[in-house]
Amino acid sequence: MLVSSIWFIKDRLQTLMLVQDIRRFLDELRESKTILPCDKRLSAILQEHFSHRDSHEELTSNDIQFVLQCFSERWIADSECDYLLYPSQANQVWIKLAHEIEPFTDKNYLQILLPHITNQFDFNNLTPLTETVRLENFYLGYDGKTLYRKRGLCERLLDNQFELSTCRTLKTKQCEVMTIEELTRLYKGKYCNGEFSIDKEKFDNFWDFLYKKAFPRMQSRGEIPLEVLPHLLILIESYYHLKNSGADFKLFTEEIHKFFKILYQFKLENINFLYGVKILYHGKEYYLLELFVLINMAQSYDVDEQLKAIMSWLYQFHPILKASNKGLLSFYAELEPKFHSEGHLEKRVETATDDLLYRIKTFLVSLFVTPFEVFPFSGKTISFWDIKNVIFSEGQEIYNQFAPFIMTNKLDALIAVYKKIMDEHIIPCQKNKHICKWLTHYQSTLDWYQRVEAGDLSKMDVYWFDPELLFHVLVHFRLINKSLGEKIVNFLDELIHTYAQNNNEFQIQLRVNILFSRFLKNLDEQQRRKLILTLSLFDPVEAKSKFLTNCIHYVTNRLCQISMHQLDSSPNFFGTYQCIDSKKLLINKTDVKQVSAILEAFKEMLHSLEERCNPEQLENMLIFLRNISRPILTVAEIEEAQQSARVIDYIGAPT
């Protein structure tokens, strides 16, 4: 140990850092082909600091700290001052100085050059970062504070069948997504990386290695995360809106980063699957990942071609994914005949009966969700189950013709009534609009008549979806729209509550869709559009097959959430919260064929946990189950209960 110390002191004496070394550095910096603004500023600062010093004077500890501060101010990730991306002459001069000053500090050269980096080991292969010397053989992580060796990523890919992924901590080997920001840095770095080979296979640079080995395997598992496609479409729409309005490009950059953050919330294999989609661009197939990288690199509104390539793919994937910008109408006009001739656009196969039933269903929903304006005391109340609405007098007559057949689930009779209503009420009113206006007076009713005759009530945000599809999609939609979490949970609770009843299928579907239309009206315009687009992308048949399983998972998660309680409520400490282990909330799935049976199975399971569960937890969970399984009273039953003095247990029968 003593010998080592002596050699260390001797080495320090032989390699003193002098003022002339800083002046030589400044001379070399001035000789650079391109002098960056930051270098002009820092050169002036260093020149001023050492201007009155003798060239042979040794640097003091304060001098060293001053130089380190200059290093700290210089490095800006992804800029021309980024040593990892740009091997410019000026950057090489700074790198050389970092190596020279390293022995006189308690930092290594990487910590000097990149002072904001927090790791010392590569998370991908657990090796010291200092094993790599050349800065271009590193890349910066997503958080802007983690440094990775390209060699470490290479070894990780080799060990994981070339699955594109990374590791973000030393504590776990969990695979996480390679972000577009990281891939952009690797793409930029391809211009300063040399050729290398693995098992005699040569690669021009590290990006070439990724392109040949990792990218072709991106779709080896997983599926396209459908929920993200509406967000991608809206990102494209925002580009053209911002561009045409002359907005600062930074606003679009912010939208890009918002989109990527949404994308990164999905499973690794599904993100990679989307990355691996092949898109025709400039007459050649590109990975969607590559187009994302090009868009992420943009500094101005010059990515129209990349975005139009993505727009073509989205429209081909599903015609509903069509940008709404008026300036793009000609673009789609050219696309449509081409895609139809190539068989890319599949027309929806729908029978006349299906279309008619959809019109009837949305017609009935509209009667309960449209805020009709009526003269004072002239409004009429219609009711279905526990839902009511005040409408114009003729509207009540119309609804009363449907009501008996809603209760008996007779779809053929509903079709006959609808045709009669159209012939006797809707079409005549539209032909004699002055009479209709005299009868109804208010514009809301006129608009309703027009939409009903056209058979399209979507402009009034009235739709009809299978409840199983609503459930399936909203569970997914909630994960990337956390601000809507409470609203979605309230709706899904009520959907399960509806399915727990003994009413006929049409009544259940009608109540759910009325509640869904009300739910939609509480969303902003963009949220509504994203949700409707998402619902159109999912398969109703698959959603129906997964409905009971989805219900079980949802109820399990709700019970876990409700069971959360504070272990330590002392005001002097931060409370510790605990919820019941979901593994305890298991029910026998083979015997449950209905939602009501699922809820009963959960109740029985909770009662079996009485001795092993916190009483307050247990009671809260049971209250939830009782609430979503209790009978739903009709409007008449509720009014009768309110008018009478009798006390009615609205919770329902004891459980």
Cα distance between residue 285 and residue 288, in whole Å: 9
For residue 352, what are the contacts with CB-CB under 8 A and spacing of at least 6? Answer: none
Q: DSSP assignment, residue 210?
A: I
Cα distance between residue 110 and residue 482, in whole Å: 39
Q: Which of 426, 460, 494 is the last residue of a domain?
A: 460
Q: Which of 187, 217, 247 is the last residue of a domain?
A: 217
- 653 part of a folded domain: no
Closest alpha carbon to 368 in 515, 149, 187: 515
For residue 180, what are the contacts with CB-CB under 8 A and spacing of at least 6? Answer: 260, 289, 292, 293, 296
Tell me, what's the pLDDT at 623?
95
Tell me, what's the pLDDT at 225?
97
Residues 371 and 432 in one domain: yes
Cα distance between residue 648 and residue 630, in whole Å: 13
Residues 446 and 595 in one domain: no
- Say if strands 196-198 and 201-203 run parallel, antiparallel, or are unpaired: antiparallel
Q: What is the mean pLDDT of each run of 10 residues along the chain (655 residues)?
A: 39 70 95 90 95 93 96 93 93 96 95 96 94 93 96 94 94 90 94 80 92 97 97 98 97 97 97 98 96 97 97 96 94 81 53 84 96 84 95 91 94 94 84 56 82 90 96 93 93 98 96 97 94 96 95 93 65 54 70 90 87 83 95 92 64 50
Residues 34 and 146 in one domain: no
For residue 46, what are the contacts with CB-CB under 8 A and spacing of at least 6? Answer: 22, 26, 67, 70
Q: Which of 87, 113, 139 is the last residue of a domain?
A: 113
Residues 620 and 548 in one domain: yes
**Three-state secondary structure string covering 414-455:** HHHHHHHHHHHHHHHHHHCHHHHHHHHCCHHHHHHHHHHHHC
Tell me, what's the pLDDT at 650?
52
Residues 106 and 25 in one domain: yes
Cα distance between residue 358 and residue 239, in whole Å: 35
Cα distance between residue 351 and residue 631, in whole Å: 36
- 135 part of a folded domain: yes
Cα distance between residue 3 and residue 5, in whole Å: 5
Question: Is the CB of residue 396 less than 8 Å from the CB of residue 380?
Answer: yes
Beta partners for residue 565, in sequence order: 578
Cα distance between residue 618 and residue 536, in whole Å: 39
Tell me, what's the pLDDT at 655?
47
Residues 241 and 317 in one domain: yes
Residues 198 and 234 in one domain: no
Question: Is the CB of residue 141 less than 8 Å from the CB of residue 148?
Answer: yes
- 489 part of a folded domain: yes
Residues 454 and 580 in one domain: no
Closest alpha carbon to 239 in 258, 230, 254, 252: 252
Tell me, what's the pLDDT at 14?
42
Tell me, what's the pLDDT at 565?
57
- 418 part of a folded domain: yes
Q: How many domains does the chain have?
A: 5
Closest alpha carbon to 516 in 358, 363, 365: 365
Residues 177 and 242 in one domain: no
- 286 part of a folded domain: yes
- 639 part of a folded domain: no
Query: How many other CB atoms sit within 10 Å of the CB of residue 138?
Result: 24
Cα distance between residue 133 and residue 152, in whole Å: 14
- The secondary structure element, H or E, covering residue 5 is helix 2-14
pTM: 0.88
Give the amino acid at 58: E
- 141 part of a folded domain: yes
Query: How many other CB atoms sit within 10 Å of the CB of residue 115?
Result: 15
Query: Distance from CA of residue 146 to its chain's centroid?
Result: 24
Residues 259 and 197 in one domain: no
Domain that holds residue 374: 354-460
- The secondary structure element, H or E, covering residue 14 is helix 2-14
- 655 part of a folded domain: no
Residues 193 and 288 in one domain: no
Residue 565 phi/psi, 5° resolution? -145, 160
**Three-state secondary structure string covering 336-349:** HHHHHHHCCCCCCC
Tell me, what's the pLDDT at 12?
46
Helix spans in 195-328 (H): 206-209, 229-244, 249-263, 268-275, 288-297, 304-317
- The secondary structure element, H or E, covering residue 408 is helix 393-408
Tell me, what's the pLDDT at 447?
87
Residues 359 and 433 in one domain: yes
Cα distance between residue 146 and residue 166, in whole Å: 12
- 3-class SS of residue 48: helix
As to burial, measured by CB atoms within 10 angstroms (0-12 exposed, 13-18 middle, 19+ buried), residue 60 is exposed
